[in-house]
Amino acid sequence: MTAPDITVERLGADYFADPYSVHARLRAQRPVTPVILPGGPGAWLITGYAEARAALADPRLSKHMPGWHPEPDSIFAALDLHMLNSDPPDHERLRKLVNKAFTARRVQRLRPRISAITAGLLEDMSTRTEADLLASFAFPLPITVICELLGIPAGDRDDFRTWSATIVANTAAPEVFQAHATAMIRYFMALLAAKRREPGDDLLSALVAARDEEDSLSENELVSMAFLLLVAGHETTVNLIASGVLALLLNPAELARLRAEPALIGAAVEELLRYVNPVNHTTFRCAAEPVEIGGVRIGRGDPVLVALSGANRDPARFGDPDQLDLGRDSSGHLAFGHGIHYCLGAPLARLEAEIAVSGLLARFGSISLAVPAASLRWRPSTLIHGLESLPVRLAP
């Protein structure tokens, strides 16, 4: 990566907790800046809204990065060959295989089940006056939903929660990363073999049939799809719910507004998406040829990251962007990305968050932080932006 006359910004561990002030500073200088990630590689980081949209719609920013993908016969290819790592036409082929299961109409059918899971979790919490809202509520809801949809035994979730956390972290030691990625691959291989022997009424069984009967995807693509859906389905919505509730607790006037007007929930979830950014950066893209964005020339082969959280707090697009305002028009936010890789699970995430936040507020008339906000810890990842835990006090 070359950046004549531009200073390369080295991002420290404090970036995990507060990416926003870094983005504001970088954006004010230049909305496309070279950075070195905490514990990791360098990339062009895009922090401006207009530049982010342009980059995400630009087919020259590809998912094929020389030297970044495992060899096809390496065991790690089994996690790599998914739609979020693919360009057309493979991207379209892979996305089409699961698209129908995630349309807004199909997802609405899950409403009763999501409501029942939510009610059960709230019931469990109702006997306590203090709880970790992340461990007791924000995590189990989406993981239960995605496990049921895919046909993954929910009892295995502590294992893959650990592996997945390592895979999305920036700071894991290479040997730990390798060990956890290998464990994840072995887990999925065994699970898919079991579905092959005894198919269920679930999405993974349908994908096994698409592989075996119609040859629509390769074995590595099958395992990679299962991996992507599981990780994308549970590493993200947890942060929308937990960081969203935190944002409401830290903005009591907005919380009171939502309590007074529960019908605001749809707009509230959109504003929380814009404001809390469960996914901080997109995944990497690479310039297949030189590209100019925001007046900066990105050279062929250079890696590019879009700071969705930076774009969503760009004052040129959203007035007073650091203010949570449930009444504002947050449409056009980039929390779910943009372009061909726009989040497949957006309707599901929105529905889960609406049911979760409404249910929580209806059940507990009083919710407050049980620790000082400054002591909350954030996960060491630049891909996702999420809390380690959220201790709260609850009262009916």
Q: DSSP states of 302-319 as a string?
A: -EEEEBHHHHTT-TTTSS
Residues in the interface with ligand HEM (CB under 6 A) total: 25
State in angstroms the smallest separation of the CB of 335 from ligand HEM: 5
| Residues in CB range of 392: below 8 A, 6 or more apart | 130, 131, 132, 133, 245, 249, 367, 368, 369, 370
Among 282, 161, 283, CA closest to 233 = 161
How far is the CA of 70 from the CAs of 61, 66, 81, 222, 396, in angstroms?
20, 10, 10, 16, 52
Q: In the complex with ligand HEM, which residue's Cβ is closer, 95 or 195? A: 95
| 3-class secondary-structure state, position 283 | coil
State in angstroms the smallest separation of the CB of 7 from ligand HEM: 26
- Beta strand pairing status for 391-395 and 296-298? unpaired
For residue 335, state whether it binds ligand HEM (rule: CB under 6 A).
Answer: yes
Query: Which of 343, 369, 370, 376 touches ligand HEM (CB under 6 A)?
Result: 343
How far is the CA of 242 from the CAs of 140, 301, 386, 390, in angstroms?
11, 37, 8, 7
Q: Per-residue x/- marks for ligand HEM, 166-195, CB under 6 A?
A: ------------------------------
Q: Which of residues 141-160 bind ligand HEM (CB under 6 A)?
A: 146
Dihedrals phi, psi of 91, to nearest 5 degrees: -55, -45
For residue 349, state whether it binds ligand HEM (rule: CB under 6 A).
Answer: yes
Query: Which of 53, 211, 341, 385 touches ligand HEM (CB under 6 A)?
Result: 341
How far is the CA of 390 from the CAs of 241, 246, 249, 394, in angstroms?
11, 8, 11, 12
290: left (phi over 0), alpha (psi -120 to 50) or beta: beta
| 3-class secondary-structure state, position 326 | coil
State in angstroms the smallest separation of the CB of 344 from ligand HEM: 4
Query: Which of 310, 345, 380, 386 touches ligand HEM (CB under 6 A)?
Result: 345
Among 385, 349, 359, 373, CA closest to 125 = 359
Among 246, 235, 248, 227, CA closest to 385 = 235
Query: Which of 44, 336, 364, 378 touches ligand HEM (CB under 6 A)?
Result: 336
| Residues in CB range of 26: below 8 A, 6 or more apart | 9, 33, 35, 45, 47, 310
Closest residue to ligand HEM: CB criterion: 345
For residue 255, state whether it binds ligand HEM (rule: CB under 6 A).
Answer: no
State in angstroms the smallest separation of the CB of 50 from ligand HEM: 17
Other beta carbons within 10 angstroms of residue 6's beta carbon come to 14
Distance CA 148, CA 6 (A): 49
Query: Which of 143, 240, 258, 311 touches ligand HEM (CB under 6 A)?
Result: 240
State in angstroms the smallest separation of the CB of 238 from ligand HEM: 8
Distance CA 269, CA 252 (A): 16
Q: In the complex with ligand HEM, which residue's Cβ is closer, 314 or 394? A: 314
Beta bridge partners of 34: 44
For residue 282, state whether it binds ligand HEM (rule: CB under 6 A).
Answer: yes
For residue 43, state whether it binds ligand HEM (rule: CB under 6 A).
Answer: no
Query: Which of 47, 136, 205, 237 touches ligand HEM (CB under 6 A)?
Result: 237
For residue 279, state whether it binds ligand HEM (rule: CB under 6 A).
Answer: yes
Q: Which of residues 66-95 bind ligand HEM (CB under 6 A)?
A: 83-84, 95
For residue 242, state whether it binds ligand HEM (rule: CB under 6 A).
Answer: no
Q: In the complex with ligand HEM, which residue's Cβ is closer, 387 or 394? A: 387
Q: Per-residue x/- marks for ligand HEM, 299-318, CB under 6 A?
A: ---------x----------
Distance CA 139, CA 92 (A): 30
Query: Which of 78, 228, 248, 307 touches ligand HEM (CB under 6 A)?
Result: 228
For residue 3, state whether it binds ligand HEM (rule: CB under 6 A).
Answer: no
* Site for ligand HEM, rule CB under 6 A: 83-84, 95, 146, 228-229, 232-233, 236-237, 240, 278-279, 282-283, 308, 335-337, 341, 343-345, 348-349
